[in-house]
Amino acid sequence: MNTSKINSMEFGILSPKLIKSLATVRIVTSDLYDADGYPVDGGVMDPRMGVVDPGLRCRTCGGTIGDCPGHFGYLELARPVIHVLYTKYIYQLLKATCSKCGKLLNRDPRSLDHVSKSPLKKCPHCGKQSKKLSFVKPYTYYSGKDELSPSSVREWFERIPDSELKKIGFDGGRPEWLVLTLFPIPPVTMRPSITLETGERSEDDLTHKLVDIVRINQSLKENIDIGAPEFILNDLWELSQYHVATYFDNELTGVPQARHRSGRPLKGIVQRLKAKEGRIRGNLLGKRVDFSSRTVISPDPTLSINEVGVPEQVSKELTIPEIITPLNIKTIKELIKDEKVNYLTRPDGRKIKVTQENKNDLVKTLTNGWSVDRQLQNNDVVLFNRQPSLHRVSVMVHKVRVMPYRTFRMNPSVCAPYNADFDGDEMNIHALQSEEARVEASMIMDVKNNIISPRFGGPLVGLDLDQISGVYILTKKETVMTKEEATQLLATAGLDMELPDKEKFTGKEIVSMMLPSELNIEFKSHACKECDKCLREKCEHDRWVSIRNGKLRTGVLDSNAVGAFKGRILNKVKRLVSEENLKNFIDSLGRLGVAYLMSRGFSIGLSDLDLPPNILKKIEREIENAQKEANGLVVKFNRGKLKALPGMTMEESLETQILSVLAEGLNVVSEIMIKHIKESDIIHMSRSGAKGSNINTTQMAAAVGSETILGKRIQRGYLNRITPHFKQGDLSPTAHGFVARGFKQGLTPFEFFWNVMNGREGLMDKSLRTRKSGYMQRRLMNSLQDLKVMEDLSIRDSNGNIVQFFVGEDGMDPTKSDWGTLNWMDHIKHG
């Protein structure tokens, strides 16, 4: 392993001397290739500057494509030109220095900015009166009314003494180097040409630009030599300046863009570096990788949370290098025989592909010191990732399980950290290539090490959807089963457990078998009805969870107990047992839930939303009442008798009041509905927090309520009305987005339209939001990325500036806390 390190990087300006010494070629012609298609010596594609065609060798270093880094050339400019990227600094320097002695026009110079802002009119050193300088974009300077040619700018700058430059912190080089006399020609490797299928060569944008520069420079030189008239020379000089300018930056204001024949603007040096797809952000900070794979994901609750099901096809393509040692030579040989190795690498670095024909010979020749590229197999360590990778748990280590079919399989419990669902989401895996990487990754990035979120200190991995529904129904009071059923259930869940000798088993007893025996906890379940007075253990609805010494005594386990984000038990168990056992706990509980649902059956249907006819009537009346009340407000408003709410206009108060009246009406409806709807699986889902809420059920079974746009009732459309079907100025709920029916009952065409309007708003909001928050994340990341916790628990940036003396003011890592607090009371009580 190479352990040398780059310690620092310096920036500066290239001097003509340096340009010359860096160069291997002097460019003299604008021709690229001769008639035979070989690069011309002294041309821009001179092979002494490196090679880009396979098979050829660099004439300077003898390297081929991969190992020749390329070499610079140089061009002697017939007339100097201004380096456009420095025009601002050139102008400042002109203003700041005396045209005669080159010294600074300030007795107490602080910086270039400072001196150039208010230079003395008269030079304090030689007494020369300075003329008024002006700068006309893009690259022309005037002294008084006379144009300053690049040559005269250069001469001026040559007069500035080094001592003066030091005073203003101009340390990158001599200012006259900002006017180019020698032009560096970048190596060919930096601007490779590509050969099209037709055999035609297509040159890089930079090469095109360089050809222009060289050509104009040639003709300028010739014209100078033949003594052409000044105006012709000036025209060519100007053109030369233009080409050099656009070579550096082709997006200068005031300069017409240099274009390709097709009309596409050429890419200058600046464009290469800049922005998202530029060199820095696109190639240096983000890289394309090998040994990765991407496909659709689908759920498999039988997998462990830290496993990933990998399709066979993928496993054959992804490989892991392994060095042959006496310890593994036997197994590797078996693998080669099974064609589970793709390549062998000999100690001299040659690679041999394993095929059916040569595998037996290869097995014989394989010895220590060789290495092989072995196919992915069970229990290999891979990174699993879903984009956008918004936080660190978007990339975690999973163990491979090679499986048939073509999707990545994962346990639904790990959907939360990845924010994944299975409506067509795709995810990536990366096979780690070195032993160090695999060890480090599996020690800190494994799912089981990342169950607690660093964001809020609660579990991110926990039961989800059906797993919760299953455990919820299983732990309900009425769930009782025979020993046979219980055995069957445990077997389906893949749990190897001994059942005590008993006739009947309650669901709570079964679940208790999963709980660690040290577990002691009490809390309200998600299904809690929020009674006025909590009876705790004596809760008549059995919603108070009480676990003593690992026995679930009362209550149901739902999302508040074992779900992602809220699972109280998960945090507690994490403190009691090892990470491995916490993982097993989540696994087995999840499997138990799903297994129970499979034997019990779990489905929802339209009839689940049925309500008795008298209740439907009641609901209808309630909705009518709410509408009537709203209409009453409208009447009051029209008569001008509505009381304005503080700080609002009449219209605003009307709107707010109508909305609140309608919302209140819907609340009442919701309560009635919840009271009378039958205990179906839909209700089980929303009550346990597996999916959905009372609002969802209400909207399906009873009424949708008022649709809103931008937080107000729907207002847009025709003048004073949404559609022409209403009277102008009709302010009633029906005319402004109130949906009085539920989805089951069916919506009227208007109501349907309003519902869709609301839906569209949601879509727009989402797309706008992702962009805004994405940019915010980038800025936050760039501001904060260098902060780290030091040994003394202070936070410092990369320069050692202290940001906080004590991390988070108490030194605590939220990842190791209970929702951000230190639960010491629980610790001393229950260990």
Partner 1 sequence: MGERMNVGLPAKIRKDVESYISEHNISESEGKEIMDRVRKFYHRALYDPEEAVGVVTAQSLSEPATQMTMRTYHFAGTAGIQVTLGLPRLIEIFDAKKEPETPSMTIYLRPEFQTEVKAIEVAKKIKEVKLRDFVISDVIDLVNLTVKCKLDSEKLKKFNLEPKKLVKHIKLKNIDCETKGNDLTCLSKKTENVNLHKLKYKLLESHIEGVKGVSHVIVSKDANGEWFITTLGSNLKKVFEIEGVDPNRTICNNPFEINDLLGIEAARNSIIKEAVDTIGEQGLGVDIRYVSILADLMTSTGGIMGIGRYGIAGNKDSVLARMAFEETKKHIISASIDGLKDPLKGHVENIIMNQLIPMGTGAFELIGRIPGGKPKPERPEKRAAEKPRVRKRVEKPKPKKPVKKPKVKSKKTKSKKPSKPPAKKPKRKVKKK
Query: Of residues 371, 600, 812, 830, which one binds partner 1 by CB under 8 A?
Result: 812
Indicate whether 368 belongs to the interface with partner 1 (CB under 8 A). no
329 vs 437, beta carbon nearer partner 1: 437
Binding segment for partner 1 (CB under 8 A), chosen from 96-104, 184-192, 274-282, 674-682, is 274-282
Indicate whether 36 belongs to the interface with partner 1 (CB under 8 A). no
User: Are 189 and 19 in contact, with CB atoms under 8 Å apart?
Assistant: no
Write b or e for each residue in 805-824: b if 16 or more Cβ atoms lie within 10 A of its Cβ, otherwise e: eebeeeebebeebbeeeeee
Compute the C-alpha angle 474/478/484, nearest 5°: 65
2 vs 614, beta carbon nearer partner 1: 2
Query: Of residues 454, 516, 550, 692, which one binds partner 1 by CB under 8 A?
Result: 454
CB 381: neighbour CB atoms within 10 A? Answer: 19
Interface positions, 405-444, toward partner 1 (CB under 8 A): 440, 444
DSSP letters along 441-469, please? HHHHSBGGG--B-TTTSSBSS-B-HHHHH
Bond preceding residue 192 cis, omega within 30 of 0: no
- Residue 320 and residue 298: Cα distance in Å, rounded? 25
Binding segment for partner 1 (CB under 8 A), chosen from 188-196, 366-374, 631-639, 787-795, is 787-795
- Residue 307 and residue 384: Cα distance in Å, rounded? 10
Query: Of residues 17, 264, 455, 502, which one binds partner 1 by CB under 8 A?
Result: 455
- In 3D space, the residue among 742, 722, 741 whose CA is nearest the CA of residue 732 turns out to be 722
Helices 650-676 and 694-701 cross at an angle (nearest 10°) of 90
Indicate whether 537 belongs to the interface with partner 1 (CB under 8 A). no
6 vs 196, beta carbon nearer partner 1: 6
User: Are 591 and 641 in contact, with CB atoms under 8 Å apart?
Assistant: no
353 vs 788, beta carbon nearer partner 1: 788
Query: Which 8-state DSSP code applies to residue 505?
Result: E
Indicate whether 527 belongs to the interface with partner 1 (CB under 8 A). no
668 vs 787, beta carbon nearer partner 1: 787
7 vs 603, beta carbon nearer partner 1: 7
Q: Which residues contact 633 (CB under 8 A, 6 or more apart)?
A: 642, 654, 657, 658, 661
651 vs 765, beta carbon nearer partner 1: 765
22 vs 280, beta carbon nearer partner 1: 280
User: Are 594 and 588 in contact, with CB atoms under 8 Å apart?
Assistant: no
Query: Of residues 17, 57, 131, 353, which one binds partner 1 by CB under 8 A?
Result: 57
Binding segment for partner 1 (CB under 8 A), chosen from 53-61, 289-297, 423-431, 536-544, is 53-61
Interface positions, 767-786, toward partner 1 (CB under 8 A): 768-770, 772-774, 776-777, 779-786
Query: Of residues 289, 497, 756, 790, which one binds partner 1 by CB under 8 A?
Result: 790
- In 3D space, the residue among 423, 417, 426 whose CA is nearest the CA of residue 390 turns out to be 417
Give min distance, CB of 60 to partner 1, in A. 8
Interface positions, 581-620, toward partner 1 (CB under 8 A): none
User: Are 575 and 568 in contact, with CB atoms under 8 Å apart?
Assistant: no
Give min distance, CB of 425 to partner 1, in A. 16
- Residue 433 and residue 425: Cα distance in Å, rounded? 26
Indicate whether 55 belongs to the interface with partner 1 (CB under 8 A). no
Give min distance, CB of 106 to partner 1, in A. 18
406 vs 788, beta carbon nearer partner 1: 788
Give min distance, CB of 824 to partner 1, in A. 5
42 vs 172, beta carbon nearer partner 1: 172
Binding segment for partner 1 (CB under 8 A), chosen from 1-9, 291-299, 339-347, 695-703, is 1-9
DSSP letters along 728-750, please? TT--SGGGGTEE-S-TTT---HH
Which sign, positive or negative, has the C-alpha torsion 590, 594, 599, 602?
positive
User: Are 733 and 662 in contact, with CB atoms under 8 Å apart?
Assistant: yes
Interface positions, 687-726, toward partner 1 (CB under 8 A): 710-712
> For the chain, first and last CA: distance in Å?
46
Interface positions, 640-659, toward partner 1 (CB under 8 A): 645-648, 653, 656-657, 659
User: Are 460 and 555 in contact, with CB atoms under 8 Å apart?
Assistant: no
Indicate whether 402 belongs to the interface with partner 1 (CB under 8 A). no
128 vs 438, beta carbon nearer partner 1: 438
Indicate whether 253 belongs to the interface with partner 1 (CB under 8 A). no
Give min distance, CB of 220 to partner 1, in A. 27
Q: Which residues contact 716 (CB under 8 A, 6 or more apart)?
A: 709, 722
Instruction: Please give the helix or strand (H or E) that residue 353 lies within, else none.
Output: strand 351-353
Give min distance, CB of 290 to partner 1, in A. 16
- In 3D space, the residue among 401, 411, 387 whose CA is nearest the CA of residue 311 turns out to be 401
258 vs 595, beta carbon nearer partner 1: 258
Give min distance, CB of 588 to partner 1, in A. 27
What token pair was written down for 215?
């050509």
Indicate whether 760 belongs to the interface with partner 1 (CB under 8 A). no
166 vs 502, beta carbon nearer partner 1: 166
- Residue 260 and residue 266: Cα distance in Å, rounded? 6
Query: Of residues 35, 226, 285, 719, which one binds partner 1 by CB under 8 A?
Result: 285
- Residue 510 and residue 379: Cα distance in Å, rounded? 30
- Residue 123 and residue 253: Cα distance in Å, rounded? 34
Query: Of residues 239, 674, 709, 795, which one binds partner 1 by CB under 8 A?
Result: 795
195 vs 801, beta carbon nearer partner 1: 801
Enumerate the H helices of 229-323 as residue ranges: 230-248, 269-273, 312-317
234 vs 801, beta carbon nearer partner 1: 801
Give the bridge partners for 418, in sequence order: none
Interface positions, 67-96, toward partner 1 (CB under 8 A): 85-86, 89
Indicate whether 41 belongs to the interface with partner 1 (CB under 8 A). no
Sheet of strand 371-375, all strands in order from the earlier edge strand to the far edge: 319-323, 371-375, 341-345, 351-353
Query: Of residues 215, 274, 337, 691, which one binds partner 1 by CB under 8 A?
Result: 274
Give min distance, CB of 7 to partner 1, in A. 7
Interface positions, 139-198, toward partner 1 (CB under 8 A): 169-173
Query: Of residues 37, 62, 326, 404, which one binds partner 1 by CB under 8 A?
Result: 62
Binding segment for partner 1 (CB under 8 A), chosen from 3-11, 96-104, 131-139, 540-548, is 3-11
- Residue 520 and residue 528: Cα distance in Å, rounded? 20
Q: Which residues contact 757 (CB under 8 A, 6 or more apart)?
A: 707, 709, 714, 737
Residues binding partner 1: number (CB under 8 A): 110
Give min distance, CB of 270 to partner 1, in A. 5
321 vs 402, beta carbon nearer partner 1: 321
Our measurement of the distance from residue 602's CA atom to the centroid of its chain's CA atoms, rounded to an integer in Å, reads: 37
Indicate whether 135 belongs to the interface with partner 1 (CB under 8 A). no
Interface positions, 233-252, toward partner 1 (CB under 8 A): 249
Query: Of residues 43, 301, 457, 567, which one binds partner 1 by CB under 8 A?
Result: 457
Enumerate the H helices of 601-704 as residue ranges: 613-638, 650-676, 681-688, 694-701
Query: Of residues 18, 40, 255, 273, which one binds partner 1 by CB under 8 A?
Result: 273
Indicate whether 816 belongs to the interface with partner 1 (CB under 8 A). yes
Query: Of residues 22, 126, 284, 635, which one binds partner 1 by CB under 8 A?
Result: 284
